[in-house]
Structure 1
Amino acid sequence: MPRLEISRSSSDRRFASDWLATMATWLPGSQWMEKIATWLMVISAGGFVGLIYWIAYRRLRYPNELEWAEGGMIDMVRRVAAHQSLYTAPSKHFVPYMYTPLYYYASAALGHFTGIHLSTLRLVSLAASTGCLILIFLLVRQWTGKLLPATFACGLFAALDAVAHYWFDLGRVDMLYLFFILAAILLARDGRPILAAIAFALAFDTKQTALVVAVCVLAHELDRPRKLLQGLLTFAALAGASVWFLNHQTQGWFSYYAFRLPSHQAWMVHKLGSFLLRDLVFPLSISLVLIVAACAFKPASFVRNPRQLLFLLFTTAGLGISCITARLHLGGTNNVTLPLWAWICILAALSLHSLLEATNEMESSVGAKLRLVLMTACLLQFLQLVESPSQYVPTHQQQLLAQQMNQKIAAIQGNVFVVHNVVDAGSAGKVTYANSMAIWDVLRADRGPAAQNLRTELIQSFQQKEFSAVLADASPDLMMPVEEPYLTDINHAATVAYPQEQQTMPPWDQMLFYTSPDTPGMKPNVLFLPQSH
């Protein structure tokens, strides 16, 4: 393989250095201001990390969903704990999400000691988030040999929790998935492809979007064919074995949910512009400038050989492709951008180290001024991500109202169909039914007998008034996306069967709490009863 030229010519480096030195003469500054800015940056990074745990502590025991998919998640963990299959034919009682199963098994394992609660799932995510912060710190620390850029990377990723609407402690698969992805990237960077492939296989068994990332990252070993084959073949064997085993155990239903349904979801290509602006440029503009500046002026300080360059390029490509395609899928929100955010934080930290190294080659006063500029830029990046966390933490009143709602559900005679599963009917002692989001995924993407049987079963259940009540935020004809034609007949059946309204909470009361503004604002506080009531 031809040698890749990664260092700039001495004249180019001298020109860049002279240009930076000239710019620095226009700037005020001193060494003590540089030190103050550095310590402020370090304190800001630590503050954002601490904020993750403060918010998690405040939300850990909230009895209902912080985000509307948590209800379906706990249903799946309960099935694992009860030794029931996760992947079965869709029915009114249960429809799984379109994810691979490792997160559910990890949560069920913890639940063996703590009991199965939403807090159990949140603890798994919080532990995974802690692991992500440690891995980001270690990767940058090992690469640069410096604590300062590693601290910046760790704090920057923690600050992005606000952009993700404080996702790090939610009972969702994303943080455990990211933990395995980062572990695999660290191992691949260290030249251990077999261990990296094992970590990628664990990521794949948590969320199948790891496939693209794994292939790209493991393929960076182009100039070492033996290691290339070791990584790719190990990953293929482990991922393929898990797919075969799960399909064998579920009579093929695993592939139906993990591959067939996702491949038939609609694409929202028009979201590409908003993704680039809202998810990348607006929150991370200063970090992106740091990366561009380092590539322009001092790339050789953190890319010392062709293999490191290939690693950076292939990892960036894998994470970029994976995140962009997931974001453009119907239903994709900014949680799918978390792996790309983590990688940008790592690249920004490497770039910061590169630029700081460049200042050491300059006259001391000039270097101090430029270091002050860099630390100020890091501080501005943190300030750009500051957001009041109060809207993401349920108040004491909201905690009490959520408990009262569960008590009211428990007091109802018979079973209650809870639309959107925002209230955990299982905790209220009621039979749980399929999560609405999972129902939509099936009906939207499948035109075959599985979806038709699910549709028929739901319609018949409403027509026969099998439920004592339907809990929703509006009339049943609005309880699912009315713009979707495949839901019209289901909505109509529910509206005819359950026409009477009974307010469970005052109409003005925002009694249920959501952490994410991207979550549909569905706060079911109205019981719909059959005519006989």
Structure 2
Amino acid sequence: MAVATTRGRVATVLSGVALLWGSAQAAVFLVIAARRVAFPFELEWLEGVGLDHIARIAAGQPFYPAPSVDFLPLIYTPLYFHIAALPSLEWPLVGAAAPAFWFGRALSALATIVAAAAIGALVRRAGGRTLPAMLAATAWLGAFEVCGRWFDLMKADTPMMALVLGGTWALDAARGDDIRRRGATAMLAAALFVAAIFVKQSAVFYALAAGVFVIWRRRELLLPFAATGVGLSLIGLAVCHIAWGEWFWYYVVNVPAAQPVAWPRVPTFFTADLLAVVGPLILLAALRLVAPTDDESTPARDTRRLLLALTVAGFVAAFLGRVHWGGWINNRIYLVAPLIAYAFAAAAPFFPRLRFLDPQGGDAPSLNALPRLAATLPTLAAILVLTQFALFAYDPRDAVPTAKDRAKLERVVAKISAVDGAVWIPDHGGLARQAGKRPFAHAYVMRYLENAEGPDNAVTERMESLIEQRAFGAVVVGYNNRRQEKIDAHYRFSARLLPRTGFGRFMTGTGPLPRYLMTPRGGAE
């Protein structure tokens, strides 16, 4: 008895430490997001393309135009950027704000917080305890670094995930004796899943998983859920087709589907992206297999099953996104969020009930396991959570740009602005717009097009022709451009814009920094 009491105290202490650690991680994310939201320059090399999207929406230009050297869109569905563009539209009395990053970043940060709340609510509903729910919510916010520092960027990933988790919460809530209310809640869930798809098409995997769950466990909701989902999807597709014709399908479906598989990433996904990042979470979820509970309610079991379906969908989305060309660690978001929810929901019975969180709580559920093992599980669960938090740990100073960083980029913009004529910045088009220059197609999006249509496509040929004609007053590169040899043949080094080392820790993504200003070579060279 004394041993069991000691083990219980150890588990309580370790769980309390985990709660404090998780709360600190959440607070750190909030501070980082607040510090970064108004930073006027790119935090990631494709944010500038998002800025171009916003400017085009504000100017009434097509979101998905025919491919050209002037602009190539990101290969995502359009809803997020249309919402991010709202401050840049003309409004009565207040007018229109200049296209900027702040609103899109604020949307993403808010979506991250909403996703945390949804994760916590789902875990609370599945496990009946507040402690695992809080640990799950803070674990999600703590995954900021391992998910590529993506949570507060002007990107569609976290808004998509917030809508997916919101739809999951609504679908799980569609229960009770009032059939009309259940049907309405299922319709809300379907609407949220459809909205998520039009924010980023990766959400289709979660919507399909939710549909499978409805067929499996909630067949009485199949008609309202499916009718709403299919109906809204068809309406959305019709609107997109009317607005952009064939180019919508071309950019959102055809180009992504044509990207080749980076085969070396297939095995490393399971090691570097799965085991090394969320291994403790997988073990935490597996504890339920070791010691299932005997007195679990059917609704709680259904919540956990729904989260499992969501996790499987997240695994598929993360795997496909990561192993194809262009896939980066931000794709971990698709798996990390649902896995956190499922792992903590599955392991909820193993966490101690803290009176200050659940003062009205009843007895712990009965564990179908050997007594000695059952007594050890709470401590083991707390250790796994602490281990996971340790894997999520990072130095927050690396994520926040300093006043010196801003000053250096302001000098870069000033030098670009002083160039006579057009300037092509292959990897950081946002700088061109900030320098008052005409933006051109981003080199990374051009590569998507080359993968889909071959290197001799019209856009690539036109861009290389402009380089050969020395049509640009300058080209700004970081010497990681696939056209560097051609650029070197027609342009020469003119100025170093950024130091070779010691700058850019706050930036994420894989793109090269805009370090060198190159100007046209003379006719005699």
Give the one of 478, 496, 502 matched to 1:504: 496
Give the one of 56, 72, 76 matched to 1:99: 76
CA-to-partner distance for each residue in 1:493-529, whole Å, 9 max, x for gaps? Answer: 533332x21123365454445533x514x12221111
CA-to-partner distance for each residue in 1:374-407, whole Å, 9 max, x for gaps? Answer: 3343223222321222222223322211111112
CA-to-partner distance for each residue in 1:338-359, whole Å, 9 max, x for gaps? Answer: 1311111111211231224896
CA-to-partner distance for each residue in 1:223-279, whole Å, 9 max, x for gaps? Answer: 544422322232122122212221222121000000011111101243222112222
Aligned partners of 1:511 and 1:523 also within 8 Å: no
The structure-2 alpha-carbon separation of the partners of 1:224 and 1:292, relative to structure 1 and needing over 3 Å to count, comes to: closer
**1-side partners of 2:497 and 2:297: how far apart?**
60
User: Which ranges of structure 1 fall in alignment gaps of 5 or more residues?
Assistant: 1-20, 481-489
Q: Which residue of 2 aligns with 1:201?
A: 194
Q: Percent identity?
A: 23
**Residue identity opposite 1:472 in structure 2:** V
| 3-state SS in 2 of match to 1:434 | coil
RMSD after superposition: 2.9
The Cα shift of 1:427 comes to: 1.4
Aligned pairs for 1:197-236 (under 5 A) are 197-222=190-215, 224-236=218-230
Aligned partners of 2:473 and 2:519 also within 8 Å: yes
CA-to-partner distance for each residue in 1:95-146, whole Å, 9 max, x for gaps? Answer: 0010000110111014457542122221111111111111111211223232
The structure-2 alpha-carbon separation of the partners of 1:366 and 1:524, relative to structure 1 and needing over 3 Å to count, comes to: closer
The Cα shift of 1:199 comes to: 0.5
Aligned pairs for 1:251-262 (under 5 A) are 251-262=245-256
**2-side partners of 1:308 and 1:225: how far apart?**
15
The structure-2 alpha-carbon separation of the partners of 1:145 and 1:313, relative to structure 1 and needing over 3 Å to count, comes to: closer
The structure-2 alpha-carbon separation of the partners of 1:507 and 1:289, relative to structure 1 and needing over 3 Å to count, comes to: closer
Q: Which residue of 2 aligns with 1:486?
A: none
Aligned partners of 1:80 and 1:105 also within 8 Å: yes
Give the one of 433, 436, 439 matched to 2:440: 433
Aligned pairs for 1:354-373 (under 5 A) are 354-356=349-351, 361=366, 370-373=377-380
**1-side partners of 2:238 and 2:263: how far apart?**
32
Matched, 1:454 2:464: no
**Residue identity opposite 1:220 in structure 2:** F
Give the one of 171, 180, 188 matched to 2:163: 180
The structure-2 alpha-carbon separation of the partners of 1:359 and 1:231, relative to structure 1 and needing over 3 Å to count, comes to: closer
The Cα shift of 1:371 comes to: 3.4
CA-to-partner distance for each residue in 1:461-484, whole Å, 9 max, x for gaps? Answer: 22332211101123xxx522xxxx
Aligned pairs for 1:471-482 (under 5 A) are 471-474=476-479, 479-480=481-482
Aligned partners of 1:193 and 1:218 also within 8 Å: no
**2-side partners of 1:341 and 1:139: how far apart?**
15
**Residue identity opposite 1:187 in structure 2:** A
**2-side partners of 1:301 and 1:173: how far apart?**
41
**1-side partners of 2:310 and 2:169: how far apart?**
11
The Cα shift of 1:313 comes to: 4.3
| 3-state SS in 1 of match to 2:497 | coil
Q: Which residue of 1 aligns with 2:318?
A: 323
Give the one of 87, 90, 95 matched to 2:67: 90
Matched, 1:71 2:63: no
**Residue identity opposite 2:476 in structure 1:** L
The structure-2 alpha-carbon separation of the partners of 1:220 and 1:519, relative to structure 1 and needing over 3 Å to count, comes to: same
The structure-2 alpha-carbon separation of the partners of 1:81 and 1:315, relative to structure 1 and needing over 3 Å to count, comes to: same
**Residue identity opposite 2:497 in structure 1:** M
| 3-state SS in 2 of match to 1:390 | helix
The structure-2 alpha-carbon separation of the partners of 1:300 and 1:432, relative to structure 1 and needing over 3 Å to count, comes to: farther
Q: Which residue of 1 aligns with 2:289?
A: 295
Aligned pairs for 1:20-419 (under 5 A) are 25=3, 29=6, 33-112=10-89, 115-191=98-174, 192-222=185-215, 224-299=218-293, 304=298, 307-308=302-303, 310-356=305-351, 361=366, 370-419=377-426
**1-side partners of 2:490 and 2:241: how far apart?**
38
The Cα shift of 1:312 comes to: 4.1
| 3-state SS in 2 of match to 1:182 | helix
**2-side partners of 1:430 and 1:510: how far apart?**
27
Q: Which residue of 1 aligns with 2:514?
A: 524
**2-side partners of 1:251 and 1:506: how far apart?**
42
Q: How many aligned residue pairs are there?
A: 493
After TM superposition, the structure 1 stretch with the greater mean CA deviation from structure 2, 348-357 or 175-184, is 348-357
**2-side partners of 1:29 and 1:359: how far apart?**
17
Aligned pairs for 1:457-496 (under 5 A) are 457-474=462-479, 479-480=481-482, 493-496=486-489
The structure-2 alpha-carbon separation of the partners of 1:377 and 1:441, relative to structure 1 and needing over 3 Å to count, comes to: closer
What TM-score, normalized to structure 2?
0.86
Aligned partners of 1:302 and 1:350 also within 8 Å: no
**2-side partners of 1:409 and 1:282: how far apart?**
42
Aligned partners of 1:221 and 1:307 also within 8 Å: no
Aligned partners of 1:287 and 1:345 also within 8 Å: yes
| 3-state SS in 1 of match to 2:424 | strand
Q: Which residue of 2 aligns with 1:10?
A: none
**Residue identity opposite 1:519 in structure 2:** T
The structure-2 alpha-carbon separation of the partners of 1:208 and 1:452, relative to structure 1 and needing over 3 Å to count, comes to: same
| 3-state SS in 1 of match to 2:279 | helix
The structure-2 alpha-carbon separation of the partners of 1:148 and 1:437, relative to structure 1 and needing over 3 Å to count, comes to: same
Aligned partners of 2:15 and 2:351 also within 8 Å: no
**2-side partners of 1:74 and 1:300: how far apart?**
54
Aligned partners of 2:429 and 2:442 also within 8 Å: no
**Residue identity opposite 2:192 in structure 1:** A
| 3-state SS in 1 of match to 2:517 | strand
Matched, 1:515 2:507: yes
CA-to-partner distance for each residue in 1:264-303, whole Å, 9 max, x for gaps? Answer: 1101243222112222211222221121111231255667
The structure-2 alpha-carbon separation of the partners of 1:345 and 1:432, relative to structure 1 and needing over 3 Å to count, comes to: same
**1-side partners of 2:5 and 2:129: how far apart?**
27
The structure-2 alpha-carbon separation of the partners of 1:128 and 1:437, relative to structure 1 and needing over 3 Å to count, comes to: same
Aligned partners of 2:317 and 2:334 also within 8 Å: no
After TM superposition, the structure 1 stretch with the greater mean CA deviation from structure 2, 141-150 or 176-185, is 141-150
**2-side partners of 1:463 and 1:371: how far apart?**
67
Aligned partners of 1:29 and 1:369 also within 8 Å: no
The structure-2 alpha-carbon separation of the partners of 1:245 and 1:342, relative to structure 1 and needing over 3 Å to count, comes to: same
**Residue identity opposite 1:297 in structure 2:** A
Aligned partners of 2:72 and 2:442 also within 8 Å: yes
